[in-house]
Chains A and B, each alone.
Chain A
Amino acid sequence: MVTRSDLLKGSSNSLLLSLLEQQPMYGYQIVKELEARSQGYFKFKEGTLYPALHRLEKSGLITGKWQMLPNGRQRRYYYITARGQAKLALEKSQLQDFLTAVKLILQPEPSGS
């Protein structure tokens, strides 16, 4: 059986790229956004976010930059790259096809219509 954590693991790259496509974010902000937008559905061990972000960065899909805040603290903001945007577009399209296929099976259109 596919668990929620399996689903999250399988789509974590797309979710992270999708969030960063909208605006640059730092780690803690990503966790909060992911939780808020999925209404608590996507909740994972927060320490594992950074390895995922760093893998994406190493693949050239995102880039991280340290920024100084007015209060003197520093945060690392992540930005999606052009390569990341291309990858996200491809993954979105594949996911859309998959969801359409799943929907066709779960909610079959009445025959004869």
Chain B
Amino acid sequence: MTPELIQYLESIRYKARLEHADETGVMSELEAHIEDKIHELTESGLTEAEALETCLGEMGNIKMVARQIYEAYSQGSWKQALLTSMPHLLFGLLFVLNWWHYPGWLSIVLILTLATTIYGWWHGKPTWVFSWLGYTLLPVLAVGIMLLYLPTIWSFLALLIYFPMALWWLFRIIVQTNKRDWLFSSLMLLPLPVIIGWYLAVSPSGRFTEDSLQRLDYFAPWIGLSFMALALTIAAFIRLRQRWIRVGLLTTSGLLTVALIVHYTAGRLNTLTFFGLVLVMWGVLLVPPLLECQLRTGRKISWRHRHLPAPRPE
């Protein structure tokens, strides 16, 4: 294969953002098509270079072909939509039904979340795994908060070590997720501003006290509803085909949920905190694509030769 052809196919592969299982087959088909076409054109008397130029021109521009491939594969089934929105529903139910009082339910939900994430992560990272992955960040956040309860000097030292480690881990997760699609990183991080917002509403000082528990009890139905709203957003996200509508949906839903938290907490979050939360939400939506741009410019084109699925015996 010539460098131009590799570049063409690699760009389509990159922009189409398919699951690995689909990617190999799709790219192999395109490659076989191009080889057939070039063979025919050279047979008719064109040089290799002319044949390649004609062929790529007739294939269509990279952006259009990649977009159509993306849209052919992006829509998930209703089952996938349910599976992807499930962690939001579970956490929503914990609060709506007041199950958060019972450590047993909390543990079950957390263990289920962790187990599902690990299973999905080691089984080809399907689309649904990223929303579960977002909730595995909760224990990391909780440990960070618990470190605040150590004596001041120990707390300071622990945080000094723990936060860079946690951020590094988060960075690695985002990089890995971005290899599939930066949109899934945003999807994964979407509950983060919502959780931070509610945490600040029940514990304005940053420390969880008896008063915080009372406030948590009071806000529980609204907390549950905000997670349910996220569940609906994610279900719609999975069913949509067009990428730009998906981006719009995540942006609108994220910002609206933050606005609703501020509204329901009736003055508990001041203007500065509100803008801080909006900033975090924009971070969730902008950091993954920016990171992807940075990583892509430093990445060399790599074309792995195809490994086709085994042909069926006739």
Contact = CB atoms under 8 A, between A and B. Distances in A.
A, B assembled together: yes
Interface of A: 26-28, 31, 45-48, 50-52, 54-55, 58, 65-68, 73-76
B32 A45 contact: no
B30 A73 contact: no
Select the residue from B68, B310, B312, B314 with max chain A CB neighbours within 10 A: B68
Contacts, number: 72
Given A47-B59, A67-B311, A54 B65 contact: no
- Where chain A touches its partner, the secondary structure class is helix
A95 B238 CA distance: 33
Given A50-B69, A65-B312, A66-B312, A75 B60 contact: no
Contacts of B309: 66
A7 to B, nearest CB: 18
Given A68-B311, A74-B311, A27 B71 contact: no
Contacts of B311: 65-68, 74
28 contacts: A26-B32, A27-B33, A31-B33, A46-B58, A46-B59, A47-B64, A47-B65, A50-B26, A50-B29, A50-B30, A50-B69, A50-B72, A51-B69, A51-B71, A51-B72, A54-B26, A54-B72, A54-B73, A55-B72, A58-B72, A65-B312, A66-B308, A66-B310, A66-B311, A68-B311, A74-B32, A76-B29, A76-B32
A76 B37 CA distance: 16
